[in-house]
Amino acid sequence: MRRLVMSVVVLGLGLVLTGCVSPGPGAEEAPSLSETETTPSATGPDPVGGEGTPSSSAVPVSVPAPTSGEWIDPHTGQTYVPPPPSDEKSRAEVIAAAEKVITAFARPDLDFDTWFAEFEPLLHQDIAMDFAHVDPANVPARRLTGPAVITTDFDANLAMVDVPTNAGTYRLTMSRTDTSSPWLVVFFYHPQADG
């Protein structure tokens, strides 16, 4: 019997905490995110006992309708704007950036400190540490053997680029936060061994 009572109490508490119980008589429901007008501050009882003072729990709700291509996260209310499509300028910039990355990488004659100091700023912080213990003398590439080629052009801020070298073709996934930011490597694929 005690277990049954405890189960009912836990279930009831769970329903109240998750909002699965309808509000009681006279209670107002929270405004939905689809409202486009700002709700004025409500007045309600003062927590100390007075009437007619602004309620600290009233929150203005203002969610504008998204414009073309934008979307609103229903959980946070944050508006997201998709990046612009790629164009000739963004394609030329990503090709130049990818060639610069492999040129900085393919210098096995440098000491580590010089090599990493020049190579690391071209990498996204999430992969930079993957190269922090590489001995440049073990890098098989020595030079580019042709121009970089975009293999997948997602948008003006994300692309996959193949860069041919004497050791094979390196594939780089390049990204930037916006069109005024530098291109950085987010994924670095080494050439596959022949055979």
- The domain spans of the chain are 98-189
Query: Which residue would you say has higher pLDDT here, 37 or 147?
Result: 147
What's the predicted TM-score (pTM) here? 0.61
DSSP state of 63: -
Query: How far is the C-alpha of 57 from the C-alpha of 54, rounded, in Å?
Result: 9
Distance of CA 86 to the CA centre of its chain: 19
Would the pLDDT of 93 be above 70?
yes
Alpha helices (runs of H) in the chain, residue ranges in sequence order: 2-18, 88-105, 112-119, 125-128
> What is the second-level CATH architecture of the domain 98-189?
Roll (3.10)
Count of beta carbons in the 10 Å neighbourhood of residue 184: 21
pLDDT above 90 covers what percent of the chain? 53
Query: How far is the C-alpha of 97 from the C-alpha of 91, rounded, in Å?
Result: 10
Q: How confident is the model at residue 68 (pLDDT cuts 50, 70, 90)?
A: low
Lowest mean pLDDT among 56-70, 77-91, 109-123, 140-154: 56-70
